[in-house]
Structure 1
């Protein structure tokens, strides 16, 4: 039986904790997350960047759980449902505000079809993309590292090179980066009858708690930089980006299923 592969994506879920932006009340967090201007950008990125990379996976045998708040306005939920209507791997899971790690761990463990069997898990941000062979390579990595998986409860697999990108009506600007143990292109094998999940750990500290195998090739992710990044609401080191030339844009299309023409149209270009 093939390893079950489960992906988890939070789509503006108003968790208690789990954000770098602080809010005094959960009501303030909900107002911030469901602000129309902010959500419009998140939908644009999800539609033009994140979903295409998953819909184009060379190994389509995976699941994507999209976690939303149960108070998300109906018209926004309907828009999200329409975006995944042609993606059988994806489903929406609505939750009331709960502590971030607690709820995500519960969702992942409930999604396991046979808890006695091992599985693979990955996190997925709604403004990122992974290479079209990410699931295929994640599954192969687990197979190739059976010597490790036989000895441990969990093993992490990380692809540490990719791109930072910004999107707009002019197209795509990007820069190549090395970023080990980031959210994008990080997966985790979990043994059967083990309650650990990829959400038990801060992504950039996961290698402190289990063996971790890192791959420097191929380029496996595109991290989005945009106005509503949670991680950019506090001072961070800027990454200079440059507009993609024709060959680079074609590489983005083939490697990540990010089409510069779709990006331009989605973000209001001609």
Structure 2
């Protein structure tokens, strides 16, 4: 089975954002603004990438989608920080309709003769280090559903919301069914459907969906450049991690609090 993750890194799509922009040029200017991009890079380096590099099952692919106008210094930096993640490849696209381009990328990445398990991955989120391992095991656990359906969704809905800064990490436990993080979708061979055909929070309207009660399967980032935060989402009631919780973040998500403090203390 082929396991494919799709990550959009400041890609200036047409649609796909809660924040609207009048023109594509306005969207590019917003996404490539220096302070915003610096925050995204710090989160990608200290939060999102470590958990992927630490997966107990390393047999997966990650497509990182960027705009074809991403400035060269940022593209080079992205290549540098993913150089030790052989599962990742960077794919540049001009601005195009969000869902159409993402569906196309997934279907050209996959081997149509193999079943695939697909997941979306935000550049400020983390999944547990055994996420890919659990994705691979889920179809066997639900073989009856797999035999009878072209697509099946699998949802790990317990995790945390976290904020990161020079003081370290603050977080709160959450229960979030059908969120982007730790949600996967099985696709039968030669089926054209992808996880990008569906709004993540409505996917259970279109296929059987299995929920697992595993604790701490994801960390959702809460930061100044969250798309949802620009539309007035309320701040999360997070609290600084204890030493025990910092150790849990390190072992469960490969997120090191000291590395976070150092990154966000840098000028």
* Range of TM-score over shorter length: over 0.9
Relative to structure 1, the CA distance from residue 106 to residue 135 in structure 2 (aligned partners, 3 Å threshold; closer, same or farther) is same
- What is the deviation of 1:116? 2.2
Of 42, 45, 56, 1:44 maps to: 42
TM-score under structure 1 normalisation?
A: 0.98
- What is the deviation of 1:215? 0.8
Is structure 2 residue 192 aligned with structure 1 residue 167? no
- What is the deviation of 1:36? 0.4
> Segments of 4+ in structure 1 off by > 4 A?
none
Aligned to 2:239: 242
Aligned to 2:64: 66
CA distance in 2, matches of 1:269, 1:107: 36
- What is the deviation of 1:237? 3.3
What is the count of residue pairs matched by the alignment? 267
Aligned to 1:198: 195
- What is the deviation of 1:217? 1.4
Of 221, 224, 229, 1:224 maps to: 221
Q: Cα RMSD over matched residues? A: 1.0
Of 98, 103, 110, 1:105 maps to: 103
**Cα deviations across residues 176-220 of structure 1 (Å, max 9, x unaligned)?**
000000000000000011000000001000111000000121310
Of 121, 125, 128, 1:124 maps to: 121
Of 255, 259, 262, 2:259 maps to: 262
What SS does the aligned partner of 1:266 have? helix
1:65 touches 1:93 (CA, 8 Å); kept in 2? yes
- What is the deviation of 1:99? 0.1
CA distance in 2, matches of 1:82, 1:268: 21
CA distance in 1, matches of 2:221, 2:167: 16
CA distance in 1, matches of 2:216, 2:36: 29
Of 130, 134, 139, 1:133 maps to: 130
1:64 touches 1:90 (CA, 8 Å); kept in 2? yes
Aligned to 1:35: 33
**Cα deviations across residues 79-109 of structure 1 (Å, max 9, x unaligned)?**
0000000110000000000000000000000
1:170 touches 1:269 (CA, 8 Å); kept in 2? no
Aligned to 2:6: 8
What SS does the aligned partner of 1:267 have? helix
Aligned to 1:142: 139
What SS does the aligned partner of 1:238 have? coil
TM-score under structure 2 normalisation?
A: 0.99
CA distance in 1, matches of 2:167, 2:58: 32
Relative to structure 1, the CA distance from residue 140 to residue 56 in structure 2 (aligned partners, 3 Å threshold; closer, same or farther) is same
CA distance in 2, matches of 1:122, 1:4: 11
CA distance in 2, matches of 1:211, 1:142: 12
Extract unaligned runs of 5+ from structure 1: none
- What is the deviation of 1:239? 1.8
